[in-house]
Amino acid sequence: MNPSLKLFLVLIISLEISFKANLWANLIIIISCIIYLLAHKISPKNLLLLIAVPLLAAIAMFTSIYLASPSKVIFAWVLFTRIYAFVFAGACVTQTTTITQLAYSLEKNFKLPSKFVYGTLAAFNVFPKIKEEVIRIQVAGEMRGLYLSFWSPRLYFKAILAAINWADDLTQGMTSHGYRENQPRSIIQKIPLTKKDWLIFVAILTIFQPILFLT
């Protein structure tokens, strides 16, 4: 499916289950998403992380509802499964689509301004450099006998100063490579939006509505 339609589909379904408490719908979403991820050959490690990371929040949600009112055990299970429905639905986008594909799709298929597209791509691609910079700042501080913990304001202040310098470098780099806002650009990676994509999008939404509202 087209990356943009896949994102919109997940957002619509997530919004619907946020307002409608339906245990069966949540379970169907979770099972369907797991099958979809397995079909796209998700690694066992990533699948286990998707199960393990939200587990504490899901248990806390279930426990708080159940202890407050044991008669609402079904609603507690609804909230428990809803967290996993959100996680696995989001994973269907993040684990099967790259940020580059999604950005190009939003730009070409849904006319997202190019400045947002390339700004987003620049931000994602600079994440590894941010990690390296944070480590460098911590090491430099330790050499001066200053320990900068993960939650230290001084650490993030220094990182923000470095990011401001990177912003100017990114601007100059994009300009030197011929980027001009509101000017036509050649297409590096074509992301088609076909009738088949729309049919799949409409079919999934149509099938899901009676499951959500009638079961």
Instruction: Dump pLDDT digits (tens) for 23-69.
Output: 999 999 999 999 999 999 999 999 999 999 999 999 998 998 888 88
Q: Of 36, 3, 5, give the one whose Cα is nearest residue 198.
A: 5
Confidence of residue 176 (pLDDT cuts 50, 70, 90): low
Instruction: Dump pLDDT digits (tens) for 61-97.
Output: 899 888 888 778 899 999 999 999 999 999 999 999 9
* Six-digit token string for 190: 């074509």
Separation CA 104–CA 67 (nearest Å): 48
Report the predicted TM-score, pTM, of the whole model to 2 decimal places: 0.80
Range in 96-100, 122-126, 138-142 with the lowest mean pLDDT: 122-126
